[in-house]
Amino acid sequence: MASSSPTWLHENFDHTGSAFGLRMVRKLDEVQSPFQKIEMYESTDWGNVMLIDGAMMVTTRDNFFYHEMMAHAPLYTHADPKDVVIIGGGDCGTLREVLKHPGVRTAVQCDIDEQVTRMAEKYFPELCESNNDPRATVMFDDGIAYMKNAAPESIDVIIVDSTDPVGPAEGLFNQAFYETCLRALRPGGLLVQQSESPLALMQLILDMRGAMTDAGFVDFRTLPFPQPCYPTGYWSCTIASKEKRDLTQFRKADAAAKPFDTQYYTADIHQSALVLPPFVARALKD
Ligand code: SAM
């Protein structure tokens, strides 16, 4: 995008027959890593924008919806999360939110592509501000291998903050991977995964939950939330538990007294995300 006059960039979502567009000032950077193409733009109204293989990943303006729900919903659902692993999450926004929890003692972020984090450090420094927290480990490896080698019963919460189930992320949405997650989780452990759009990709959520069930997870809750720059703007995360438990119960008083600021997540927002609209509840039988 050579011209500096604003032009529109649209991401077409073939599977939903829709698109999302942002008015851009200029292209800032681009890198072809061994895994994916990462592009960075400056927009007129949404700050910086990261695309991976043409899919919008992060904007300055709206990333908080996703990062806050992917971190705080599972962490306040867990009784006392101490050791957290993020698979993917290379923009570091989820890591920053996880580290706001004073009870968390270790947070590992394992993304397959170091270039995503290097670009985030340059163009989303605010998302990377906790990378040097002594509790944080930012590493680069295939999350599939990482989880396969994780020590049994060593993790309290696993957050799968990956791209869509294609390319390097495809293997993060199947039974074999979920079996390694189950083994790595401590009793009371939770897995949370970005579960795409309940409006346009309900079958993917059902397939995910089916594979999680086959892997041995026993209870599930899908929490919808807004995410404007993703397909349909209506996104979700799905929490799965190792043991039978009611995932509509969470540490509401702790969430209400959270010792940190957020832009979207509150105890009431969490509670409201547990009230599913009929079309979602019917499909998920939740
Ligand atoms: N919020 C975004 C979404 O919902 O699509 C995800 C953001 S984050 C940038 C997605 C990350 O997943 C990317 O950095 C990508 O490198 C990483 N990823 C994809 N496959 C992976 C794998 N097998 N192991 C670890 N990270 C992976």
User: What pLDDT does 5 receive?
Assistant: 64
- Look up residue 89 and give its two tokens: 């999450």
Choosing among 2.60.40.10, 2.160.10.10, 2.30.140.10, 3.20.20.80, the CATH entry for 7-59 is 2.30.140.10
User: What pLDDT does 197 receive?
Assistant: 96
Choosing among 3.40.50.2000, 3.90.1150.10, 1.10.260.40, 3.40.50.150, the CATH entry for 63-284 is 3.40.50.150
Domain-by-domain residue ranges, the chain?
7-59, 63-284
CA of 230 to the centre of ligand 1 (A): 14
pLDDT bin (cut points 50, 70, 90) of residue 6 is confident
Ligand 1, residues at Cβ distance < 6 Å: 52, 57, 66, 87-91, 110-113, 116, 142-144, 161-163, 168-169, 171-172, 194
**Stretch 74-96: mean pLDDT:** 98
- Look up residue 195 and give its two tokens: 């579960």
DSSP H/E element including 95: helix 93-98
Q: Which long-range contacts (CB under 8 A, 24 or more apart) does 17-20 make?
A: 18/200, 18/231, 18/232, 20/56, 20/228, 20/229, 20/230, 20/231, 20/233
- Look up residue 19 and give its two tokens: 């698109």
